[in-house]
Chains A and B, each alone.
Chain A
Amino acid sequence: MSQKLYSEIKNNSISPDLKEIPVLQYDIFYELVCDFLKDEARHCIAYYGVPTSGILKLFCYIADDNNSSIAVFSHELDNNTIVLKSITPVCPQLQIFEREIHENFGVVFDGHPWMKPVRYSHYRSDKSNIIDNYPFYTIESEELHEVGVGPIHAGVIEPGHFRFICNGEKVLHLEIQLGYQHRGIEKLFIEKNDSLQRCILSESIAGDTSIGHALAHSQLIESLAGIEVSEALQIERCIALEMERLAVHIGDTAALCGDVAYQLGQVVCEALRTLIINATQLWCGNRLGKGLVRPGGSNYQMNDDVAGEILTVIADVDRRFGEVADRIYSLPSLLSRFEDIGKVTREQALTIGAVGMAARSCGISRDIRVTHPFQFYRSYPIQLLTVETGDVFARGMLRNLEVRESVKIICGLIEIWRRKEKIINKPVYNYKLKPNKVGISIVEGWRGEICHTVITDKGGNIENYKVKDPSMQNWLALALAVRNQEISDFPINNKSYNLSYCGNDL
């Protein structure tokens, strides 16, 4: 029994050798994963297949929030096995991952309730499956009617199809079908040999989280190439991440107000978001922070001017956002639109393995910055904020609280940064990755945990690159939130989650 059944790694640490990870029989793999996920402090952060010379290898990463470790399980499929017992009936949070493995490699998970395609990727196993012949879920009834929305939406929303089954104004069921934004990001990571291109690629995974994804990628590369970065750079990265959080949260508050036609909140928050992203532009020349985070160093070192400007801007934003947020979350006509709308219970959120904001708005303490700290968060503990109610109000309120907290974090970090020795190298592009390694890097973006994993071959080239955006797990939360709600409340629910379409589609 002393034999190790899984490997434990820490976030952003030296990664284990590929062969150190024990390969389990599927029944042991099944038992272990089920057993592990019973504890609500653990959740699956990635589960995917890697095809190596005709053999499909499965990797399952389970984060343990109690001791900040990540357990890696693995299983190798025989050449002729294509049917596995599905874990989903026991641990529903694996449903999206099993669907993805099924779609990409044709593995059948016996007992999985619904093998719905995830994104119709270019490299799916069955090319005859296309969106046009997809059988949407239907209910036969005279009273019910279906409303199909998208994939082309009014306004500036990304493409995605929503199929509602309604009884009058009430939604009985919502089916979300994505995949229209698929670009083959993961394949591109392998094909692009130029490391700068890979950085730019990571920034384009989800346009609203470019700093988050770039940081996850850079962190991963640094841990595999053995590059150490100075504390000053770590602080700068944390500041950048918090700036992104501030900008998006304030922008989302504006959009929430816009959706319920509250003009004042909308225009004020939009103006404040502009201040934040302009400060980011002053720092790195790009309002969305593209080009700011690079492996090994930075092209845009923070200096006293930038730090001063950021402090002035966020002090101003904090005061003005505080005023408008107090008004938003106390105005009766707004509260009646936010409270008790789109409620997701804590149990539901745990069951589907919700991460990030979607989990914290249901009272689940799940924040990678606290539970698996990375960069300077390791030495700068932050407060984990949760809201209990799980409705649109909770998601709005959580944004409000996180904005206030981010302001404090940035001020605190700049204070420390001023005392640090500022040795920051230029970015490293000609790195060499260690051969035969498994690397994982998780970052708490504004939406939730972003997970990048990589497997290198014996020449140190990238053999497999896997990206998991928090949207992937959280889309199901949206589908649950609108059940038994009015169909006219769908937009506000959707906005309150603000999930990424392209983050799911890759």
Chain B
Amino acid sequence: MTGFILILISAFFFPGVILRAKSIASGRKGPGIFQPVKEIGVLLRKGSVFSNATGVIFQIAPAISLASVICAMAVIPFANQNALISFEGDFVFFSYLLAFGKFFAIIAALDTGSSFEGMGANREAFFSMLVEPAFFILLATFAMFTGCTSFSDIFSHFFVTGNHYVLIYSIIGFYLFIQIAMIENSRLPVDDPKTHLELTMIHEVMILDNSGFDKALIHMGSYLKFSIYGALMYNVIVPAGWNVFLQVSLFMAVQIIFAMIIGLIESFRARNKMNLNPKFILTLSSIGLIAFLIILILTDKLI
């Protein structure tokens, strides 16, 4: 339960920290940390406008997406406590819950019948598909390393195997979770959340027709996803056995650092050319594979 609440809390300041980091890196003061959340408040008080071309799918999709993200949150553990829901193989459940939400976002975009949104949906589906192997290879590596198959068990056993090679997985896991989080949340270098150019957008173009309340739900889902990945990253770098109060502050620190890293990456590089994205995303899978091979060798399973 603590994990669930902590993720909720960190989602409040996460987008604000990214924005602030970007502003400061570009020599500006930037808006307050809670500005994006305040904007959600404004959106929530507005009604939604639906185009005549859309059907019921378009209207329910944002709610379903947000619901799937909140459910996915429930399987993330914190410290030594079990997650709200925990069972064997729950990381598969986690991944496909997020995919389920994304699936609805994609068919909602197709529902509008706009050529832009179709294009965006097509790109989003393609890139999400490519990022999936990276996630599963990483989790399979962890599962093999710890011998457990649920998030709660994996992370509570992660640092107690007594194996010092765990540092390698911490680093690789940290790196891959940053990249996967940035791709899943449509940030640089794969997508650019700030662009106003429909033709280059991926995620933004899918939600062009959403307004008011629905748009707020979509934003909430995206902020929550950020802190979910932040929580996963936290779990691979901080041993679960530490004091809980220390962990709470460390958790917040990791989330803030993660947000700042995203802000800084976005300040000092350009986004990829669209046809380089598949290569870029597949690189993550190959890094995952290398980690996987290392563990096979180290645990003498590769004979």
Give Cα distance in the complex from A266 to B27, angstroms: 12
- Among A260, A266, A331, which residue has its beta carbon within 8 angstroms of that of B271? A260
Give Cα distance in the complex from A492 to B270, angstroms: 12
- Among B119, B198, B271, which residue has its beta carbon within 8 angstroms of that of A154? B198
Known: A147-B115, A486-B275, A489-B273. A264 touches B200 (CB 8 A): no
Residues of the B chain whose Cβ atoms lie less than 8 Å from the Cβ of A487: 119, 199
In the complex the two chains form, is B270's CB within 8 Å of A154's CB? no
In the complex the two chains form, is A263's CB within 8 Å of B26's CB? yes
In the complex the two chains form, is A488's CB within 8 Å of B199's CB? yes
Residues of the A chain whose Cβ atoms lie less than 8 Å from the Cβ of B273: 336-337, 341, 486, 488-489
Interface: A346 (CB within 8 A) = no
- Among A259, A266, A334, A489, which residue has its beta carbon within 8 angstroms of that of B274? A489
- Among A148, A266, A331, which residue has its beta carbon within 8 angstroms of that of B115? A148
Residues of the B chain whose Cβ atoms lie less than 8 Å from the Cβ of A423: none
In the complex the two chains form, is A261's CB within 8 Å of B274's CB? no
Give Cα distance in the complex from A279 to B140, angstroms: 62
- Among B194, B196, B200, B266, which residue has its beta carbon within 8 angstroms of that of A488? B200
In the complex the two chains form, is B195's CB within 8 Å of A261's CB? yes
Known: A147-B119, A486-B273, A488-B274. A263 touches B199 (CB 8 A): no
Known: A145-B115, A169-B274. A263 touches B197 (CB 8 A): no
Interface: A267 (CB within 8 A) = yes
- Among B116, B189, B266, which residue has its beta carbon within 8 angstroms of that of A263? B266
Interface: A262 (CB within 8 A) = yes
Give Cα distance in the complex from A433 to B35, angstroms: 61
- Among A336, A337, A491, which residue has its beta carbon within 8 angstroms of that of B197? A491
Known: A259-B200, A487-B199, A491-B197. A264 touches B275 (CB 8 A): no
Residues of the A chain whose Cβ atoms lie less than 8 Å from the Cβ of B269: 262, 331, 333
Interface: B148 (CB within 8 A) = no
Residues of the B chain whose Cβ atoms lie less than 8 Å from the Cβ of A336: 270, 272-273, 276
Residues of the A chain whose Cβ atoms lie less than 8 Å from the Cβ of B267: 263-264
Known: A260-B271, A264-B267. A491 touches B276 (CB 8 A): no
In the complex the two chains form, is A147's CB within 8 Å of B116's CB? yes
Residues of the A chain whose Cβ atoms lie less than 8 Å from the Cβ of B270: 257, 260-262, 331, 333-334, 336-337
Residues of the A chain whose Cβ atoms lie less than 8 Å from the Cβ of B276: 336
Give Cα distance in the complex from A341 to B274, angstroms: 12
* B188: nearest chain-A partner, CB-CB: A261
In the complex the two chains form, is B119's CB within 8 Å of A155's CB? no
In the complex the two chains form, is A261's CB within 8 Å of B266's CB? yes
Interface range on chain A (Cβ under 8 Å from partner): 20 to 34
What's the nearest-Cβ distance from chain A to residue B209, in Å? 13
Interface: A17 (CB within 8 A) = no
* B204: nearest chain-A partner, CB-CB: A154
Give Cα distance in the complex from A73 to B266, angstroms: 56
Interface: B28 (CB within 8 A) = yes
B249-299: which residues lie under 8 A (CB-CB) from chain A?
Answer: 266-276
Give Cα distance in the complex from A230 to B275, angstroms: 57
* B116: nearest chain-A partner, CB-CB: A147
* A492: nearest chain-B partner, CB-CB: B200
* B268: nearest chain-A partner, CB-CB: A264
Interface: B40 (CB within 8 A) = no
Residues of the B chain whose Cβ atoms lie less than 8 Å from the Cβ of A261: 188, 192, 194-195, 266, 270-271
> Could you give, for residues 167-197 of chain B, a 1 whenever the CB lies within 8 Å of some chain A CB and a 0 otherwise?
0000000000000000000001100101111
In the complex the two chains form, is B22's CB within 8 Å of A155's CB? no
Known: A154-B198, A337-B270. A267 touches B26 (CB 8 A): yes
Interface centre among A147, A149, A263, A341 (most CB of B within 10 A): A263
Interface: B25 (CB within 8 A) = yes
A323-338: which residues lie under 8 A (CB-CB) from chain B?
Answer: 331, 333-334, 336-337
In the complex the two chains form, is B196's CB within 8 Å of A155's CB? yes
In the complex the two chains form, is A259's CB within 8 Å of B199's CB? no
Residues of the B chain whose Cβ atoms lie less than 8 Å from the Cβ of A341: 273
Give Cα distance in the complex from A147 to B267, angstroms: 31
What's the nearest-Cβ distance from chain A to residue B118, in Å? 8
A266-280: which residues lie under 8 A (CB-CB) from chain B?
Answer: 266-267, 271
Interface: A490 (CB within 8 A) = yes
What's the nearest-Cβ distance from chain B to residue A494, in Å? 9
* B28: nearest chain-A partner, CB-CB: A267
Give Cα distance in the complex from A261 to B263, angstroms: 12
> Could you give, for residues 132-155 of chain A, a 1 whenever the CB lies within 8 Å of some chain B CB and a 0 otherwise?
000000000000011111000011
Interface centre among B199, B267, B275 (most CB of A within 10 A): B199
Interface centre among A169, A261, A489 (most CB of B within 10 A): A261
In the complex the two chains form, is B115's CB within 8 Å of A264's CB? no
* A487: nearest chain-B partner, CB-CB: B199
Residues of the A chain whose Cβ atoms lie less than 8 Å from the Cβ of B194: 261
Residues of the A chain whose Cβ atoms lie less than 8 Å from the Cβ of B25: 263-264
What's the nearest-Cβ distance from chain B to residue A340, in Å? 10
Known: A336-B273, A488-B199, A489-B273. A263 touches B115 (CB 8 A): no
What's the nearest-Cβ distance from chain B to residue A265, in Å? 8
Residues of the A chain whose Cβ atoms lie less than 8 Å from the Cβ of B26: 263-264, 266-267
Residues of the B chain whose Cβ atoms lie less than 8 Å from the Cβ of A257: 270
In the complex the two chains form, is A146's CB within 8 Å of B28's CB? no
What's the nearest-Cβ distance from chain A to residue B109, in Å? 14
What's the nearest-Cβ distance from chain A to residue B264, in Å? 10
* B263: nearest chain-A partner, CB-CB: A263
Known: A263-B266, A488-B274. A149 touches B199 (CB 8 A): yes
What's the nearest-Cβ distance from chain B to residue A142, in Å? 15
* A157: nearest chain-B partner, CB-CB: B196
What's the nearest-Cβ distance from chain A to residue B287, in Å? 19
A305-347: which residues lie under 8 A (CB-CB) from chain B?
Answer: 331, 333-334, 336-337, 341
In the complex the two chains form, is B274's CB within 8 Å of A267's CB? no
Residues of the B chain whose Cβ atoms lie less than 8 Å from the Cβ of A259: 195, 197, 200
In the complex the two chains form, is A333's CB within 8 Å of B197's CB? no
Residues of the A chain whose Cβ atoms lie less than 8 Å from the Cβ of B22: 263
In the complex the two chains form, is A154's CB within 8 Å of B197's CB? yes
Residues of the B chain whose Cβ atoms lie less than 8 Å from the Cβ of A154: 196-198
Residues of the B chain whose Cβ atoms lie less than 8 Å from the Cβ of A149: 116, 198-199
Interface centre among A154, A169, A264, A266 (most CB of B within 10 A): A154
Give Cα distance in the complex from A264 to B266, angstroms: 9
Give Cα distance in the complex from A260 to B28, angstroms: 20
Listed A/B pairs (23) with beta-carbon separation below 8 Å: A146-B115, A154-B196, A154-B197, A259-B195, A259-B197, A259-B200, A260-B270, A261-B188, A261-B192, A261-B194, A261-B270, A261-B271, A262-B269, A266-B26, A333-B189, A333-B272, A336-B276, A337-B270, A337-B273, A341-B273, A487-B119, A488-B200, A491-B197
New A-B contacts (5) at CB < 8 Å, excluding given A149-B198, A259-B195 = A260-B271, A261-B188, A261-B192, A261-B271, A486-B273
- Closest 5 A/B residue pairs (Cβ): A155-B196, A261-B192, A491-B197, A260-B270, A262-B270
* Residues of chain B whose beta carbon lies under 8 Å from any beta carbon of chain A: 22, 25-28, 115-116, 118-119, 188-189, 192, 194-200, 266-276
* Residues of chain A whose beta carbon lies under 8 Å from any beta carbon of chain B: 145-149, 154-155, 169, 257, 259-264, 266-267, 271, 331, 333-334, 336-337, 341, 486-492
